[in-house]
């Protein structure tokens, strides 16, 4: 049933009563009198005219109490840099794997190629997108699910399970085998071309379906689109190798060489963590998301035949305990969070009380619970990083050491301090070995996942 078009008589006008929804002259005059009567208004206005708000609201007690010592610290390597791309999830995942390579081969530094992973992720996402368009071709183009699919066709972001899908299907290579290009480090132009081609294909596929054309016609249209996507990726990212030679010098200055390695053989030999055993644990406190249940999000993924993006929802205390035990066992921890909240980039610190914007403006600006922030679009997981340390006292965590992928900028030289108060409020997920879960949660993994709609905030991607 179509909604009726609004007429001129339905639009609010300046002389309507406020009860009818208009912002009247009288109402605005009342706002002005209230503002002018407040002695702090002029002080705040003058301060904001000359200073950035973040400098005025910085909690100096938190800033001056920063401590970068940890009871458990694993890293002895430098940071990586995703630059102007949304590949944080790939950097965090390869940083997890490189820790073992550095230790095992006695290297001073090492990186897997994130450009290699991005190449295959983009191609697989394009295929996943086109399959989703075919699957929803009988729906209206303004159907909410179709709109969501069209809006997320091939962006840079991802999730832990999506990394596992690519690593298992295509393998891994060292950075020297497929180095960075301008487009891997700054993806804007490439993404514009990919998005344009895929939306042209989406329109064509839907038109073929509407015209009653056979499935073979739709498959051929999809094949042509994927061929073009592959061409765009080769032009921007270079040539993914079938085989490569790898040579390195260890910390004792001994030279090593491996000839004719395949990406899958390289992964099996040097990325020794059992990726298939890792599961994604999340903290989603919404009443509609019971703890101890698995979830997935409709049309969230990259490899059509690969593993689903599946989350196991757990209490925050459980998530924190598993992360701490993993670190104390010598294993860094991949995690996802809303990094934009209460972050001081120069100081390289997150703290739940880092800034007091409400004190500056004198108005409520933040929803008090994580549940409400999810429901009212005030938060979502948007960045993935790596825990490389924890500071705990008799089992009680105090703060966490974080390897970011934003280069060496800031006081931490690429490594951040996350105070425990921030962890509780803004952390959403970790990847952990199945063996670290209590028996009850391991059993819960066998359940069929609850399917959330495509637009659910738990379907957001780290970038």
Indicate which residue of 280, 383, 419, 426 is catalytic. Answer: 383
d(CA 428, CA 335): 8
Q: Using the 8-state DSSP alphabet, how is residue 294 labeled?
A: E
| Cα angle 393, 386, 269; round to 5 | 115
Question: Could you tell me the sign of the dihedral formed by the alpha carbons of 228, 91, 354, 427, in that order?
Answer: positive
User: Is 404 an active-site residue?
Assistant: yes
Indicate which residue of 339, 404, 419, 426 is catalytic. Answer: 404
d(CA 234, CA 236): 6
d(CA 109, CA 98): 9
Question: In the beta sheet, which residues pair with residue 450?
Answer: 295
> E strands, 74-220, where?
none
Element (H, E) at 448: none
* Through-space distance between the first and last CA atoms of the chain, rounded to whole angstroms: 39
> Which residues does 396 contact at the CB level (< 8 Å), separation at least 6?
none
d(CA 363, CA 98): 46
Q: Which two three-digit tokens encode residue 83? A: 């630059």
Indicate which residue of 88, 153, 337, 339 is catalytic. Answer: 88
User: Is 88 an active-site residue?
Assistant: yes
Q: What's the full length of the chain, in residues?
A: 463
d(CA 160, CA 461): 10
Inter-residue contact 272 to 104 (CB < 8 Å): yes
d(CA 157, CA 459): 11
Q: Which two three-digit tokens encode residue 222? A: 């999809």
d(CA 42, CA 420): 37
> Tokens 């990259």 sit at which residue?
302
Inter-residue contact 201 to 225 (CB < 8 Å): yes
Q: Which two three-digit tokens encode residue 194? A: 């990919």
CB atoms within 10 A of CB 175: 17
> Tokens 């490569």 sit at which residue?
244
Report the SS3 class of residue 223.
helix
User: Is 337 an active-site residue?
Assistant: no
Catalytic residue set: 88, 383, 404
């Amino acid at each position: 049933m179509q909604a009726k078009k609004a007429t001129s008589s339905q639009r609010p006008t300046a002389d309507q009563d406020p009860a009818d929804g208009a912002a009247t002259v009288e109402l605005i005059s009342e706002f002005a009198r209230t503002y002018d009567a407040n002695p702090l208004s002029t002080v705040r206005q003058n301060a904001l005219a000359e200073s950035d708000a973040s400098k005025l609201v910085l909690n100096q007690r938190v800033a001056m109490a920063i401590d970068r010592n940890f009871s458990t610290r694993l890293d002895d390597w430098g940071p990586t840099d995703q630059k102007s791309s949304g590949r944080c999830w790939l950097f965090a995942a390869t940083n997890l794997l490189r820790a073992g390579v550095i230790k095992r081969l006695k290297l001073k530094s090492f990186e897997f190629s994130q450009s290699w992973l991005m190449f295959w992720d983009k191609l697989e996402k394009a295929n996943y997108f086109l399959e989703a368009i075919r699957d929803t071709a009988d729906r209206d183009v303004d159907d909410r699910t179709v709109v969501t699919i069209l809006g997320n066709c091939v962006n840079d972001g991802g999730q832990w399970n999506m990394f596992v899908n690519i690593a298992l299907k295509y393998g891994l290579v060292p950075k020297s085998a497929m180095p960075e290009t301008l487009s891997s480090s700054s993806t804007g132009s490439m993404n514009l071309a990919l998005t344009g081609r895929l939306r042209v294909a989406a329109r064509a596929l839907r038109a073929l379906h509407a015209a009653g054309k056979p499935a073979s016609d739709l498959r051929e249209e999809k094949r042509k689109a994927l061929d073009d996507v592959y061409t765009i990726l080769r032009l921007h990212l270079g040539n993914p190798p079938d085989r490569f030679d790898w040579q390195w010098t260890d910390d004792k200055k001994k030279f090593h060489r491996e000839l004719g390695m395949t990406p899958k053989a390289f992964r099996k030999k040097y990325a020794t963590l059992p990726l298939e055993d890792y599961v994604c644990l999340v903290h989603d406190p919404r009443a509609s998301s019971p703890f101890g249940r698995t979830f997935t999000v409709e049309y969230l993924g990259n490899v059509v035949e690969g593993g689903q993006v599946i989350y196991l929802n757990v209490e925050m205390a459980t998530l924190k305990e598993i992360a701490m035990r993993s670190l104390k066992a010598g294993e860094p921890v991949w995690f996802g969070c809303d990094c934009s909240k209460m972050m001081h980039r120069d100081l390289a610190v997150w703290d739940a009380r880092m800034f007091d914007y409400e004190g500056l403006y004198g108005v409520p600006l933040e929803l008090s619970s994580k549940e409400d922030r999810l429901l009212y679009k005030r938060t979502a997981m948007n960045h993935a990083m790596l825990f490389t340390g924890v500071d705990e006292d008799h089992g009680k965590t105090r703060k966490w050491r974080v390897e970011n992928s934003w280069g060496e900028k800031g006081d931490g030289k690429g490594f951040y301090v996350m105070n425990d108060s921030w962890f509780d409020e803004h952390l959403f997920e970790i990847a952990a070995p199945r063996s670290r879960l209590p028996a009850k949660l391991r059993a819960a993994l066998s359940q069929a996942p609850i399917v959330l709609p495509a637009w659910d905030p738990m379907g957001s991607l780290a970038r």
